Amino acid sequence: MPKVSSITRVLQIIEAVSYAAKPITPLELSQQLDIPKPTIHRLLQQLIDEGFVMVDIT
């Protein structure tokens, strides 16, 4: 499996979140994108901290 950069993964996450019909969980992102769950959590937290992704707590 070729090495994928963090930038590529971040873009994949942003794209998946933006096209999701409903709020998507980290587990769903992990499964959909084939990215390890800890990596999803780390990158999502960075995106949240920077204001690119919002958390839906409902």
Residue by residue, DSSP assigns 28-54 as: HHHHHHT--HHHHHHHHHHHHHTTSS-
Please state, for a pLDDT cut of 70, what percent of the chain lies above it.
97
Helix (H) or strand (E) holding 15: helix 6-19
Domain membership flag for residue 1: no
Domain membership flag for residue 54: no
- Going by pLDDT thresholds of 50, 70 and 90, the confidence category of residue 42 is very high
Q: What is the pLDDT of residue 35?
A: 96
Quick one: which of 36, 51, 40 has its CA closest to 16?
A: 40
Q: What total of structural domains would you count in the chain?
A: 1
Quick one: which of 58, 55, 5 has its CA closest to 26?
A: 55
Model-level pTM? 0.87
Domain ranges, residue 22: 6-49
Distance of alpha carbon 27 from alpha carbon 31, whole angstroms: 6
Rounded average pLDDT over 3-18: 94
Q: What is the pLDDT of residue 24?
A: 95
Q: What is the pLDDT of residue 54?
A: 92
Domain membership flag for residue 41: yes
